[in-house]
A and B are shown apart, each in its own frame.
Chain A
Amino acid sequence: MVAVRSRVDRLVSPTLSRHLLIALAAAVVLLLLSAQIGAYDDYNLTAVAIFAVAAAGLTLLTGLNGQLSLGHGALMAIGAYTASLLLKDHRQFPVIVVLLISVLSSGVIGIVFGYAAARLRGPYLAGATLTLAVALPQVATRYKSIFGGDTGLIVPPTAPPDWLGADFPAERWLAWIAVAAALVTMVLLANLLRNAPGRAFKAVRDNEAAAALAGIDVARTQVLAFVISAACAGLAGALFAYWSGITSPAGFSLSLSLQLITAIVIGGLGSLAGAVWGSVVLVYVPLLTSGMASTLKLPSSVADNLPLAIYGGILVIAMLVAPHGIQGALGRILAIGRARWGHTPGGGQKGVVDWDDPAPGT
């Protein structure tokens, strides 16, 4: 009886229940939000959730295990093509089955890549993954009969279930699925990182020799990190297939891989929250800047390229002024706030602290 109690205690640890609570709160907020916004914003919300899944996996690999991958777009492509091929022959497959099989297939392929990656370090791994990102879409181009060549494979949309009503928008349904997938991923990863595997990842990142001396199997830990990361990318890829409605090599160009790595660094390397911030930046900054560019009535050669120029400029400036990304900057602001007001447990609300707000009582 006592043994069972302690096992239950261990399963439902304070950290796990905290993660579950945060995820539940986020789910409620996003559920209410998605009912308020239109189809266009649902579409963007879905994109944020998809990038968050992929970026969270990449954060685990690059931020916490120190393996630099410039080819995560290729792993997303594996998930997307798995989903598309499944749906090509079995249109009626439920979403959850498609997503799980995609996770599985990219995870299995991740084992192969992971073993290769575990031998490589720093820029050599970067070079290998970069080449992977360029090469893999070419396979789809080459084997047209299977992967549909450059035109790609059409992905049938997933229809909302009947109990939601006949006029429930499909965009909102997909947003729900993507957000749910993102939250499940986050909870699982957060829990993993709080426990022995997470500590092993960081130990290997910080000092391989010391980690090995402490009894950690360095190569195995690196492969494990790669597999989990690949599985996340596969999930994101399958969702991406539903989201874009077509899976083609052009959707998984090198720039997708590079966008993911910029997202996790801009968001704040090594934290899952940073992966979410980065995904928001990735989706909304180009939207904002292209909206800006179109209202300014500039010549088309300028207006078309202004968003990219601004995005590139933001990356450069962010690395110069906020090297620890958004999460790092938030942490610093919170720390300043705490120092000013004195740390009051329970009182300090996590969120934006107004920089110029005078301290109370002055």
Chain B
Amino acid sequence: MSRFFVLTLIGLTQGAIYAAMALALVMIWRATKVINFAQGAMAMFTTYLALFAIDHGAPYWVAFAFALLSGFLLGAVIERVIVRPVESAPPLNVVILTLGLLLFLEALAPMAFGGQIKSFPPAFSIVGLHVGNSQIAFSPFDAFTLGAVLAVMVLLLLLFQKTNLGLRMRASAFNPEVSGLLGIRVGRMLTLGWALASLVGALAGVLIAPSLLLYPTFMDDVLVFGFTGAVIGGLDSAVGAVVGGLLMGFALSYVGGYFGSDLETVGALVILVAVLMVRPRGLFAVQRLRQV
């Protein structure tokens, strides 16, 4: 029982990270119908930037804000400069473009910041909390991770549901042409969508870095599991991304805990295939008529 409890806590924290990554992917998918395979590499790069700031004497929170801000800007620049020109290209070309970006960033980071594995400081203690007499596998930093991801999700929800800007962004993603006719600057909305998504990705990077250590490919697995979570949830659903990401967190934790960590990815594959065989467009897909 206690083992199950421990694994559940680990799964919850990991799942929050995957949910953030899945949400970032879904936001970009909904805005521009692109799977951004460079999402993890972008988050890796902004985490390196945060560490660079810390190494040069910046306090943790300044570096934290710096990572999010640089994520925001990086997303905007990438959308505007290299994704916009291929907007009407075949989908596979855009996939290759983001893969190229992934390789480029993963090679650029060690050139700029050095190739050795680095540790990244957490905001709070990573020692498990005490409940009564026993220590549990849930640290103040885990609580912060959960809280930060939750806060970002609530803020995004408010933005998309309650503000005029969010409405314009949703309209642009839903139907760019009609939105343009209604006077919405569709291009700007798409850039903003990418920027916000990579801010969420950057958050995931800073939150996971203390436990994974920092090296150029450290976000690859997070990207794969985030993507798997997004696919499980259904790529068109933000709620689905969060649920799918959390599911991945729990599943990987249980499989790793009960069957051995080298079967984690096999477990992920089994769950993904099981879900997709029943619901080929993910759990939260809106069933559509087949387009002819």
Using a CB–CB distance below 8 Å, which chain A residues touch chain B? 62, 68, 116, 119-124, 126-128, 130-132, 134-135, 138-139, 141-142, 207, 209-210, 254, 258, 261-262, 265-266, 269, 301-302, 304-309, 311-316, 318-320, 323
Contact = CB atoms under 8 A, between A and B. Distances in A.
B276 A313 contact: no
B180 interface: no
A51 to B, nearest CB: 16
Looking at A131, A266, A313, the one whose CB has the most chain B CB atoms below 10 A away is: A131
Given A120-B276, A262-B100, A308-B107, 10 more contacts: A116-B273, A119-B276, A123-B235, A124-B231, A131-B272, A142-B260, A254-B220, A266-B96, A305-B107, A312-B102
B269 interface: yes
Nearest to B88: A323
Contacts of A120: 276, 280
Interface string B216-237: 0000110010011011000100
A128 B276 contact: yes
A316 B102 contact: no
Contacts of A138: 262-266
B86 A319 contact: yes
Contacts of A301: 110-111, 114-115
18 contacts: A116-B276, A134-B224, A134-B269, A138-B262, A138-B264, A261-B95, A301-B110, A305-B108, A305-B110, A308-B104, A309-B104, A312-B100, A312-B101, A315-B104, A316-B104, A319-B93, A320-B86, A320-B97
A139 B259 CA distance: 12
B97 A309 contact: no
Contacts of B114: 301
Interface string B271-292: 0110011001110000000101
Contact of B100 (A68, A122, A304, A315): A315
A309 B111 contact: yes
A306 B96 contact: no
A265 B93 contact: yes
Contacts of B108: 305, 309
Contact of B90 (A121, A132, A269, A308): A269
Contacts of A128: 231, 269, 272-273, 276
A313 B96 CA distance: 11
Contacts of B262: 138, 141-142
B96 A121 contact: no
B29 interface: yes
Contacts of A62: 92
Contacts of B269: 128, 131-132, 134-135
Given A131-B224, A131-B265, A323-B90, A116 B277 contact: yes
B93 A311 contact: no
Lowest 6 CB-CB distances: which A-B pairs, in order?
A315-B100, A312-B104, A312-B103, A127-B231, A309-B107, A308-B107
Interface of B: 29, 35, 82, 85-86, 89-97, 99-108, 110-111, 114-115, 220-221, 224, 227-228, 230-231, 235, 260, 262-266, 268-269, 272-273, 276-277, 280-282, 290, 292
Contacts of B220: 254
B91 A122 contact: yes
Contact of A130 (B100, B101, B227, B280): B227
Contacts of A126: 35, 95
Looking at B96, B105, B114, B292, the one whose CB has the most chain A CB atoms below 10 A away is: B96
Contacts of A313: 100, 104
A315 B99 CA distance: 8
Contacts of B111: 301-302, 305-306, 309
Nearest to A210: B292
A126 B99 CA distance: 13
Contacts of B105: 312
B161 to A, nearest CB: 25
A207 to B, nearest CB: 8
A314 to B, nearest CB: 7
A101 to B, nearest CB: 25
A320 B83 CA distance: 9
Looking at A302, A313, A314, A323, the one whose CB has the most chain B CB atoms below 10 A away is: A323
A209 B224 contact: no
Contact of A127 (B86, B101, B227): B227
Looking at A124, A128, A254, A269, the one whose CB has the most chain B CB atoms below 10 A away is: A124
Contacts of A305: 107-108, 110-111, 115
B99 A135 contact: no
A312 B107 contact: yes
A261 B99 contact: yes
B110 A311 contact: no
Contacts of B276: 116, 119-120, 124, 128
